[in-house]
Chain A
């Protein structure tokens, strides 16, 4: 054997992480191509219909309400289709296959990191990011069995490339032994569940963003339909991408479903954290910075759940709360962990 220095388990783990990132990036491209092609087809189909109508003597601009409803019904059916019955979009299938492949590398990297550290791989910022992004992908791939959410694929893979790439560049630290306060079963439970709820909040966030766009498009179409047919002033909406998505209502109720699962896990995170704090620091609650932000996030999502059930807040306003909620989750993970003073000094960074 040549006397080269052998790669440590952790080095292999990092190599696997970069491999996963590259494959996620490829998946992202494939998902983007899929969206572009499907939007293109949607627009072409629409132009075709308009031409027919014009030929038949009708005057039309943009899309009509009935078009909208028809699209909504079609995309709702598509959303609920089981894996076997789904439309066979080539690029989407390539992208999903790539995502699965990247996910396998990602899991291997995470497991190896755990083996190298001889503990669960979520005890510093780098490891939170490694495991957290893995859970985002896991939840996404899991949900695909139930709903055809492949239109979120570009968002999910894009987000993971940015977070995982960023974390590996900025937060990477070598395996370190645990500090005493982290030697607790609650590390295993509390942090894992927190990451899991982040994954659900991420999907809810993406859906809420789409909901906002979709709602704007629907309002426009409705306005265009009430104005006289010849009101050519109404710009025909070319937002082809939105045409292949479910309607704003469907997006909202889907976002809500993910948000409440996230909220349940977050509630559990809060309680588990308090139990741990009671063992480690002698009080279950002390408004430590990290506790404050966990509480803020919890209250924001409680606000979101209420807003969605409130006349006048349902729809756009509640979608904004879901978006702000997720922004706060990310803020809590990055800025609060690194720059706010408190007892949760576990970033592992200098």
Chain B
């Protein structure tokens, strides 16, 4: 087994080996601690050398690892905004302190950024001189054969008899010719160094190792740049579509939209799509995983100007590619169709309202806001149970996610919805502050309870509400009585493919850097009377567990070839 050790005195002058930071285990040892030369430039140079040292790289890497951890413990604004809100209300004391330390935005915090930026400056400062050096090394000759090969760890010898009537020098030279050929064919760069009575070939291989290392480190810079620049051109937007509804790719049609810095929101690719159907299947009761939903699919029709209508499909793990955007399925649920009439019987509201699922059995929560057409604004908060069953308390719950016994319960509030003063309000929440509750337990009036197709009176003679049955004519049962919605997320990320490219390059570089051995090999023939002494030696440049075997292999193959050659020319 052979590994390079820094403490062993190298018998070979270190000529054009790979350039490494000077505290690299194989690097040129600094003679003691170098004191900085006084003066500004001296300090700068010293600082730079510290920053580009291996020790700094190790420390920064460890710091980076440690700094990343808090972001997995404290909820992050980007990944889990609700978690942050929750945290704030749970820990009102702690929250401002953590917030001032950027602990809710760890990965864009000044301290996290400082670490990785320093690391990358160090990386660049490390890679550039090494690249220059490597460029030169690749075009220089393998170094002169050391005088005493026997001093190397991995070394063997053999002695051959010069055939009668042959010149010893010529035999030695021929032996080295053969060795040179063999080494060249094995991928070494070779150079002859002949002297009086000694002939030798110096060979080196594995430049690719350093190339791989440099490609790896440079690709990391590539990844960082691609992430940074790509982020500026990336946008994501969300929209909720009920079966039958359409979406046009303009800013106005998104329910939320997050553009990167350089995104021009006026020139989004022009396309539109309609949600024809949302498919889902449930594992039947009695089987393992009963009630688990799966095989979600949003069946779409997409339209691009100048092209024919096309059918499209969005599934989990299978986004739809459309005009450079990718469309993802993020959620789904029921959207009961409700019609509200005033006291005269005139329709004041008729819509399918998405109800947000609260549990695996699709107990869903929804809000209806009626702004106009009634004496006062009305707000309705309701639960939808696709398969309703009564709990012992009398309250309803859903026991199965599919439409078997759909029931909708609603409580009515009257007053000011608070949407006219311009404050943005979520369509999914209702703030009953300043409103009068008309039904529900709190006021001892029964909540409204409806099955598809049923109508109920609103309290105080306000009018009526109908839960429309959406089943096509002639279909019995409730299976198609309530439309479904899909929440879609639309993304454009031009950086992603660059990130992938650099990541793959980095991996290839890594493979080469870690597994291609870099080594020097020498074969020397010394004439000694009527015999020629052959010496073989190898020297590892970096990690090289197979060097010993390689030296043995070279000597064996050379011995065989030489013997065959001598016999043939006999």
CB distance from B102 to the nearest CB of A (A): 13
Complex Cα distance, B293 from A196, in Å, reads 31
* Residues of A close to B170: CB separation below 8 A: none
B83 within 8 A of A: yes
Quick check: B61 and A306 within 8 Å, CB to CB?
yes
Quick check: A268 and B507 within 8 Å, CB to CB?
yes
A256 within 8 A of B: yes
A314 within 8 A of B: yes
Quick check: A256 and B58 within 8 Å, CB to CB?
no
Quick check: A271 and B64 within 8 Å, CB to CB?
no
Beyond A283-B491, A287-B78, A336-B72, whether A184 also contacts B25 by CB under 8 A is no
Q: Which of A259-291 contact B (CB under 8 A)?
A: 260, 263-264, 267-268, 271, 274-276, 278-289
Complex Cα distance, B80 from A230, in Å, reads 68
1/0 contact string of B163-181 vs chain A (CB within 8 Å)? 0000000000000000000
Beyond A180-B296, A307-B58, A310-B23, whether A80 also contacts B316 by CB under 8 A is no
Beyond A284-B499, A302-B61, whether A271 also contacts B504 by CB under 8 A is yes
A57 within 8 A of B: no
A58 within 8 A of B: no
* Residues of A close to B6: CB separation below 8 A: 311, 314
CB distance from A249 to the nearest CB of B (A): 7
Beyond A267-B507, A340-B72, whether A253 also contacts B65 by CB under 8 A is no
* Residues of A close to B557: CB separation below 8 A: none
* Residues of A close to B500: CB separation below 8 A: 271, 274-275, 284
Stretch at the interface among A103-111, A136-144, A171-179: A171-179
Complex Cα distance, B507 from A312, in Å, reads 28
Complex Cα distance, B288 from A15, in Å, reads 20
CB distance from B26 to the nearest CB of A (A): 8
Quick check: B55 and A312 within 8 Å, CB to CB?
yes
In the complex, which of the residues A176, A299, A312 contacts B61, with contact meaning CB atoms closer than 8 Å? A299
Beyond A271-B503, A303-B62, A311-B6, whether A180 also contacts B317 by CB under 8 A is yes
CB distance from A85 to the nearest CB of B (A): 15
* Residues of A close to B106: CB separation below 8 A: 287
Complex Cα distance, B184 from A104, in Å, reads 46
A341 within 8 A of B: yes
1/0 contact string of A296-317 vs chain B (CB within 8 Å)? 1001101100111111111000
| Closest 6 pairs between A and B when the two form their complex, measured CB to CB | A303-B61, A310-B54, A180-B316, A292-B72, A289-B72, A299-B65
30 contacts between A and B (CB under 8 A): A80-B1, A174-B288, A176-B288, A178-B294, A179-B292, A180-B316, A181-B317, A250-B1, A263-B510, A264-B514, A271-B500, A276-B317, A278-B493, A282-B319, A283-B236, A283-B493, A284-B493, A287-B78, A287-B107, A292-B68, A293-B72, A295-B68, A300-B62, A309-B24, A309-B25, A309-B54, A310-B24, A310-B25, A311-B54, A342-B79
A interface, CB within 8 angstroms of B? 76, 79-80, 174-181, 183-184, 249-250, 253, 256-257, 260, 263-264, 267-268, 271, 274-276, 278-289, 292-293, 295-296, 299-300, 302-303, 306-314, 321, 336, 340-342
